[in-house]
Amino acid sequence: MNSTLQWTPRKLVAALIAAGMIGGAGVVALEHAHTPVHAQGVAVAQVAQAAPAAPAAMVAMPNFSAITAKYGPAVVNISVSGTRKVSMNGSDDEGGAAVQRNLPPGMQEFFKQFGLPPGAFGFGPGQGQGGGAQEAPMRGEGSGFIVSPDGLILTNAHVVRGADEVTVKLTDRREFKAKVLGQDDKTDVAVIKIDAHNLPVMPLGSSKALSTGEWVLAIGSPFGFENSVTAGVVSAKGRSLPDEGMVPFIQTDVAVNPGNSGGPLINTSGQVVGINSQIYSRSGGYQGVSFAIPIEVALHVKDEIVAHGKVDHAKLGVAVQEVNQSFADSFKLPKPEGALVSTVEKNGPADKAGLKPGDVITQVNGQPIVASGDLPALIGMAKPGERVTIDIWRQGKPDQLTARLGSLSEKGTQVADAAGPHKGKLGLALRPLQPDEKSEAKVDGGLLVEQASGAAARAGVQQGDVIVSVNGQPVKDIAQVRSIVAKADKSVALLIQRDGERIFVPVNVG
């Protein structure tokens, strides 16, 4: 096969970034709010007065102090210790969660004072690049909350990951050694247990009942400062984060910092609606955006761990990507909504149900799929073997399929980055694949890109790519491509393949 077909997924993403399809500038790190050190500062909630709806009418503010006094004793401090493999440059060889972890300014000297590499605390530059590996002490702190009087506690999986010893400290200063009953890295939820009785318990609410703009409260141990309280509002719901597609996060502006991980997000009725998990930050500290795992997700994981010791998530067996306006124009969708199927796992649940690349999934069991991230979050909470009804948009009209979900493997549902619109003509020089090239690329048909210019090049298409389909129609010859492009109104969606990886790319032809 032509050597120009040999692309890696990393090169594919890099090429798309260079083409402007995936934003490469101003990259911001997702930080787990899991503290390794004791610093200073306790966040204080700022309470704003609402504008009167009518003369002399005022909106009552939540009584944060009453909520804290009543339910604060059910929030615990969690400290962990153990060893972790780190590279000689101080980075974490275990990889941890799939997020970039930046070392906050000034922290390098702090670590040096104790003769420890930065990676020993789960923070560090790079991701295990060279230098070999060594065992280093790992210590950290997080938060959790009690959900049963006999000592069952919910926290984040990344708080206890790799820990040899877990210690729970209550607000009355009693300390207990905890046992990790189980942890689910897919959702970042862990369940631990202490040997105690008649403990205070956090009441559980519903994240589905939350409204954007509603007040919420966080209690935890930021930077090791135990039982710190911060407050804010719900900024958004159903957020999908990179490599965290199984969780529809609650976004808030509650001040969450390292050490808040695993602590409760509480509504104005004093009920837990989420577990504080991550922050969006350039510095490693709070910058106004934090994320919490919905309590429904956490309880599902808890029940599975208590019953079976592990969690078995369902899978559909597709890779999907975002539907933007260019894709909507290409597939004649009424609105740019849904999950665009770019790859279907051979003999997987989706394949057996009849799903094809180019289909747009619009609903599952009657629940709308607005953004592509809605799909893995919904499927991940179902049970393997469950039958689901899938509404799709195919070849310009709606259709419906039924699938029996499988069990999630290492290569589960993925979310590919969406591509952006570009102007100009198609600008592609194509030729049919030779038999040996088809065999090596593992495709039945398709056209090889010998030269890319104009709009296609700006969209990220390059020499050596294989065009598998156009607007969801598999292509076998150049005349077919010309016919499809001639009928397009504004843009066409090209399904391209590089080294076995596929992604839809929209090209504006208007």
108 is a domain residue: no
121 is a domain residue: no
Pairing of strands 133-148, 75-87: antiparallel
396, 400, 401, 402 alpha-carbon torsion, rounded to 10°? 160
For 401-425, write each residue's pLDDT tens digit: 999 999 875 443 333 333 333 333 5
pLDDT at 117: 43
Element spanning 291, H or E: strand 290-294
Q: Residue 390 is part of a domain; what is its CATH number? A: 2.30.42.10
393 is a domain residue: yes
**Same domain (yes/no): 402, 424:** no
Which residue among 261, 277, 290, 491 is the active-site one?
Answer: 261
**Same domain (yes/no): 249, 355:** no
Verify whether residue 283 is a known catalytic residue: no
452, 462 contact by CB (below 8 A):
yes
**Same domain (yes/no): 167, 288:** yes
**Same domain (yes/no): 465, 451:** yes
* Spatial distance between the Cα atoms of 314 and 407, rounded to a whole number of angstroms: 5
**Same domain (yes/no): 501, 388:** no
pLDDT at 347: 86
**Same domain (yes/no): 226, 340:** no
Q: For the whole prediction, is pTM greater than 0.85?
A: no
Which residue among 91, 92, 184, 188 is the active-site one?
Answer: 188
For 207-225, write each residue's pLDDT tens digit: 999 999 999 999 999 988 9
* Spatial distance between the Cα atoms of 291 and 271, rounded to a whole number of angstroms: 17
153 is a domain residue: yes
Tokens at 401, concatenated: 């399929």
374 is a domain residue: yes
53 is a domain residue: no
pLDDT in tens, the chain (510 residues): 444 444 444 444 444 434 443 333 333 455 666 655 433 333 334 434 445 555 555 557 889 999 999 999 999 999 998 876 665 444 443 333 323 334 444 444 444 443 444 443 333 333 344 445 567 777 889 999 999 999 999 999 999 988 899 999 999 999 999 999 999 998 999 999 999 999 999 999 999 999 999 999 999 999 889 889 999 999 999 888 766 678 999 999 999 988 999 999 999 999 999 999 988 777 667 788 999 999 999 999 999 999 988 898 899 998 888 898 988 988 889 999 999 998 888 888 999 999 999 999 999 999 999 988 889 888 988 889 999 999 999 988 999 999 999 987 544 333 333 333 333 357 788 888 877 777 787 788 888 887 777 778 888 888 888 898 888 888 888 878 888 887 777 788 888 888 778 888 888 876
**Same domain (yes/no): 207, 323:** no
**Same domain (yes/no): 203, 349:** no
* Spatial distance between the Cα atoms of 251 and 237, rounded to a whole number of angstroms: 6
pLDDT at 498: 81
Number of domain units in the chain: 3
pLDDT at 394: 92
Residue 288, Cα to own-chain centre: how many angstroms?
19
**Same domain (yes/no): 433, 476:** yes
- The SS3 call for residue 482 is helix
492, 506 contact by CB (below 8 A):
yes
Q: Residue 208 is part of a domain; what is its CATH number? A: 2.40.10.120
Sequence-ordered list of residues with C-beta below 8 angstroms from that of 267, at least 6 positions apart, any chain: 205, 209, 210, 214, 215, 216, 217, 273
**Same domain (yes/no): 287, 232:** yes
110-125 burial, b if ≥16 CB within 10 A, otherwise e? bbeeeebbbbbbbbbe
**Same domain (yes/no): 14, 35:** no
Verify whether residue 489 is a known catalytic residue: no
Verify whether residue 184 is a known catalytic residue: no
- Residue 156's nearest CA partner among 96, 201, 211, 234 is 96
Which residue among 158, 300, 313, 422 is the active-site one?
Answer: 158
Q: Last residue of some domain: 309, 326, 356?
A: 309
118 is a domain residue: no
**Same domain (yes/no): 340, 473:** no
Q: Last residue of some domain: 287, 309, 331?
A: 309
201 is a domain residue: yes
Residue-number span of the structural domain to which 344 is assigned: 314-416
Strand (E) positions, 387-443?
387-394, 397-404, 406-407, 414-416, 428-432
Q: Last residue of some domain: 309, 331, 353?
A: 309
Helix residue ranges per DSSP H, 126-195: 157-160
